[in-house]
Amino acid sequence: MSQPAYSLWVKTGDQPLGGTDSNVFLMLYGEAGQTDWVHLPPEDIFAFEQGSTDRFVLDVPDLGNLTRCCVGHDNSADSGWYVEQVSVRHNLSGREWLFAFNQWLGEEEAGRLVVCADS
């Protein structure tokens, strides 16, 4: 039996220099458990750029109703990143969640590399 898959849309805000080339990671929390940190590999050089929305698919066990989403990056390149929101859809059930961040990540910009939002 295959595991349920989630589709994610990560929206980078339309802030000047809001994009990043650092490695981006995500963790989902639900009523039935949580994922480990999951690397979101860029599809191309335009991933996580200012004003962009990037789509990913996660093959992880069903977490039940999602309660929290955390995003972060490793500060490896163009560290400042303005993360606007993450939308998540459970592909089998069609359930959807929106996690609004609307904040900077980066040592210089915010003094932190990880931020979490509740649904």
Per-residue model confidence as pLDDT tens for the chain (119 residues): 455 589 999 999 999 999 999 999 999 999 999 999 999 998 888 899 999 999 999 999 999 999 999 999 999 987 799 999 999 999 999 999 999 999 999 988 899 999 999 98
Say whether domain 5-118 belongs to CATH 2.60.60.20. yes
* Angstrom distance (rounded) from CA 23 to CA 37: 12
* Angstrom distance (rounded) from CA 107 to CA 111: 4
Q: What is the pLDDT of residue 1?
A: 43
* Angstrom distance (rounded) from CA 31 to CA 33: 6
If phi over 0 gives left and psi between -120 and 50 gives alpha, with beta otherwise, what is residue 72? beta
C-alpha of 102 from chain center: 12
Q: What is the pLDDT of residue 2?
A: 59
C-alpha of 65 from chain center: 17
pTM score of the predicted model: 0.93
